[in-house]
């Protein structure tokens, strides 16, 4: 018989894998679906694609701290169910939209209601033993990376064979199944944080005020924010860079997919192992090592001469960067105020979402002014500075 926390952990991981697989199934073909909705000019398609991504990210950044506070007062399992069922409803409804304005409204609503990765993280951190934080959160990250790497392939197959709208319905069905699995099989012995009489807004600002008094927590929030900016800066330019490495420019899309998929796959394989190592030698030491290793592997990408060299560097980088999220989340679990893990993870999820939104803009700006290769050097510099920041500003209790 599995220990109760192990059973819960494995069920949450399986459900999160299905959920992220669903989210990733419907994401890659959004620009093509926009064209089906009547937007035909390329510039307009690009603008709407940017709005769909940014709108959801900003909404998630705004609502994540609120949901985290609700989790501390009403339960983390409930918040994971909210994220999965909310995703099932909003993404399933995208298959029924008549125009791009309705699609944007649903994307923003999706950002308000979802956030399964943050919800799963806060639930796992509240039910596993303290000395298993790194390993357990590594498994969650493995599920996230696994779903992210397989989802686009599944989405492409469904969209090509059945159309774009059924792909949204398939995503909704997967999220519904994941939510039902959490509802039926995960047990949470929740003890609500003490709260005074008053409005939910009052609890929320009180929770944030408690977290704000921790300099270490704010140092980690800033570190995560800049890590996400760095890691997402090459997103808009990587396909163009791959195209420039090929004499003919052919197969740039498929080659980019292989490079991204290899990095995600290697990261999924190593995330739990890196998390287990961090449980043994220390989360802070492991996090700094992963960040510095990532910086050391980003910089040479500016000097590659073919796609094979880029693939090797990105795959090696995936092994190190795959350990960032579980190690950082394990550190957060150890320094979060007692009973405020939900609010804390909500705040870090907000920082993550903002970093995800700003990173591509920064990368595109650097590429336009200094050239594509400069983007990789810029990312390496950001990661190196974050490593120095974590070493000096973040203190972890023994």
Please indicate, yes or no, if residue 194 is contained in any of the structural domains: no
Q: Which residue has the tokens 């927590």?
A: 217
- 156, 226: one domain: no
- 129, 273: one domain: no
- 348, 266: one domain: yes
**pLDDT (0 to 100) of residue 203:** 58
- 144, 211: one domain: no
| End residue of a domain, out of 127, 150, 185 | 185
Please indicate, yes or no, if residue 359 is contained in any of the structural domains: yes
Residue 295: CATH number of its domain? 1.20.1250.20
Please indicate, yes or no, if residue 63 is contained in any of the structural domains: yes
- 98, 234: one domain: no
Q: Which residue has the tokens 């950001």?
A: 382
Assess contact for 88 and 181: CB atoms under 8 A: no
- 344, 300: one domain: yes
**What pTM was computed for the model?**
0.81
Where are the alpha helices (H) located in the chain, listed in sequence order? 4-26, 30-36, 42-74, 76-94, 100-113, 116-127, 133-162, 164-185, 200-212, 215-232, 238-245, 252-281, 283-298, 307-321, 324-335, 341-370, 372-393
| C-alpha to C-alpha distance for 242 and 227, rounded to whole angstroms | 23
| End residue of a domain, out of 154, 185, 216 | 185
- 127, 85: one domain: yes
Specify the 3-state DSSP secondary structure of 65: helix
- 2, 117: one domain: yes
| C-alpha to C-alpha distance for 232 and 348, rounded to whole angstroms | 16
User: Tens digit of pLDDT per residue, the chain (398 long)?
Assistant: 456 899 999 999 999 999 999 998 877 678 788 889 998 887 788 788 878 878 888 899 889 888 988 888 889 999 999 999 999 999 999 999 999 999 999 999 999 999 999 899 999 988 899 888 889 999 998 999 888 888 877 887 888 788 889 989 999 999 999 999 999 999 988 876 655 555 555 656 666 666 667 788 889 999 999 999 999 888 878 877 888 887 765 667 678 778 887 888 888 888 888 988 998 999 999 999 999 999 999 999 999 999 999 999 999 998 888 888 889 988 888 887 777 777 788 888 888 888 988 888 888 889 889 998 999 999 999 999 999 999 998 887 76
Please indicate, yes or no, if residue 236 is contained in any of the structural domains: yes
**pLDDT (0 to 100) of residue 1:** 45
Please indicate, yes or no, if residue 334 is contained in any of the structural domains: yes
- 302, 172: one domain: no
- 233, 370: one domain: yes
Please indicate, yes or no, if residue 394 is contained in any of the structural domains: yes
By CB atoms closer than 10 A (0-12, 13-18, 19+), residue 30 is middle
Nearest alpha-carbon partner for 325 in 120, 175, 188 = 120
Domain with 226, as residue range(s), is: 205-398
- 171, 211: one domain: no
- 265, 397: one domain: yes
Please indicate, yes or no, if residue 20 is contained in any of the structural domains: yes
The gap from C-alpha 243 to its chain's centroid, in whole angstroms, comes to 26
| End residue of a domain, out of 185, 219, 250 | 185
Please indicate, yes or no, if residue 118 is contained in any of the structural domains: yes
The domain total for the chain is 2
| C-alpha to C-alpha distance for 91 and 75, rounded to whole angstroms | 25
């Amino acid at each position: 018989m599995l220990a109760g926390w192990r059973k819960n952990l494995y069920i949450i991981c399986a459900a999160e894998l299905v959920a992220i697989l669903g989210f990733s199934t419907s994401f890659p073909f959004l620009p093509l679906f926009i064209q089906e909705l009547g937007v035909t000019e390329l510039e307009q398609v690009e603008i709407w694609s940017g709005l769909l991504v940014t709108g959801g990210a900003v909404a998630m950044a705004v609502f994540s701290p609120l949901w985290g506070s609700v989790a501390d007062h009403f339960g983390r399992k409930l918040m994971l169910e909210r994220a999965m069922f909310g995703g099932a409803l909003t993404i399933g409804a995208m298959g029924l939209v008549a125009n791009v304005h309705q699609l944007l409204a649903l994307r923003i609503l999706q950002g308000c209601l979802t956030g399964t990765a943050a919800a799963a993280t806060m639930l796992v951190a509240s039910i596993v033993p303290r000395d298993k934080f790194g390993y357990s959160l590594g498994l969650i990250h493995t599920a996230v990376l696994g779903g992210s790497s397989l989802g686009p392939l599944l989405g492409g197959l469904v969209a090509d064979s059945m159309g774009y709208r059924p792909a949204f319905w398939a995503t909704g069905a997967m999220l519904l199944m994941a939510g039902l699995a959490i509802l039926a099989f995960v047990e949470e012995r929740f003890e609500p944080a003490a709260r005074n009489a008053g409005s939910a807004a009052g609890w929320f600002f009180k929770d944030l005020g408690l977290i704000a008094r921790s300099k270490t927590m704010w140092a980690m929030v800033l570190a995560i924010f800049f890590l996400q900016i760095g890691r997402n800066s090459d997103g808009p330019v990587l396909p163009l860079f791959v195209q420039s490495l090929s004499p003919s420019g052919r197969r740039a899309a498929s080659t980019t997919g292989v490079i991204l998929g290899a990095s995600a796959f290697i990261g999924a394989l190593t995330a739990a192992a890196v998390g287990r190592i961090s449980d043994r030698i220390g989360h802070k030491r492991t996090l700094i090592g992963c960040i510095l290793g990532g910086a050391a592997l980003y910089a040479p990408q500016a000097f590659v001469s073919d796609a094979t060299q880029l693939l090797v560097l990105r795959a090696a980088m995936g092994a190190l960067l795959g350990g960032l999220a579980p190690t950082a989340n394990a550190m957060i679990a150890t320094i979060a105020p007692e009973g405020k893990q939900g609010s804390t993870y909500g705040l870090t999820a907000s920082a993550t979402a903002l970093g995800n939104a700003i990173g591509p803009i920064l990368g595109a700006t650097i590429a336009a002014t200094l050239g594509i290769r400069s983007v990789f050097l810029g990312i390496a510099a950001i990661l190196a500075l974050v490593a120095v920041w974590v070493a000096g500003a973040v203190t972890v209790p023994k």
